[in-house]
Copies of this chain bind each other. A is one copy, B any other.
Amino acid sequence: MATQQRRERERAQRETLIVNAARDMAEADGWSSVTIRRLAERIEYSQPVLYSHFAGRGAIVDAVALQGIAELTEVFKAARAGAEPGGELAAVVGAYLDFATANPALFEAIFTLAEGLPFGVDAPEVLKAAFAELYAVFAPLAGERDPDAFTEVGWAAIHGLAVLGSGGRLRPDLLEQRLAILVGQFVKG
């Protein structure tokens, strides 16, 4: 009876333990070092236990990605709230880039590793919330253009900077200028 609930609680606890361990290891030594064996040793259980929580390694990465998306949404909220009027866009863009450089493995999980996350119509709530934050910033600037499409373009622009930047494909000394150009490109037009 009540033990049932305790069991579930412990299970949930262990699940977050796994996700956190995976994230820590990935951030420390890269995702390739996050193996089921090492993960099992880290949480002090045998490998099959992990498979009683997740369908496989990919599902663990997805869980980390989902957690990261939730955090990203919070970062957006904070950036928007702390920005002076008119500076919301710059604040969110800066927050996005900072998030990507501060948590490269998490960012990688979200945007290049996660494969089991549904998008489009039946996307998880947390993902829609993240897009909504961007929408709140970009849609007012859309003018007579479709606000959804406009937001997507804005998102893509930021995301491109984040991806190419973290891949070492952009000149580091131009970082500030890129940010200024991007913001100027969207507030004017």
Contacts and interface: CB of A to CB of B under 8 A. Distances in A.
A156 B170 contact: yes
Interface in A157-189: 157-161, 163-165, 167-171, 174, 177-178, 181-182, 184-186, 188-189
For the complex, would chain A's binding face be called helix, strand, loop or mixed by DSSP majority? helix
A152 B167 contact: no
A78 interface: no
A167 to B, nearest CB: 7
Interface residues of A, number: 36
A89 to B, nearest CB: 13
Contact of A177 (B145, B163, B171, B185): B145
For this chain, the copies found in one complex come to: 2
A146 interface: yes
Contact of A189 (B159, B171, B174, B189): B189
A149 B167 contact: no
A31 interface: no
A119 B182 CA distance: 23
Given A150-B181, A184-B189, A185-B189, A160 B171 contact: no
Instruction: Select the residue from A145, A156, A188 with max chain B CB neighbours within 10 A.
Output: A156
Interface of A: 111-112, 119-120, 145-146, 148-150, 152-153, 155-161, 163-165, 167-171, 174, 177-178, 181-182, 184-186, 188-189
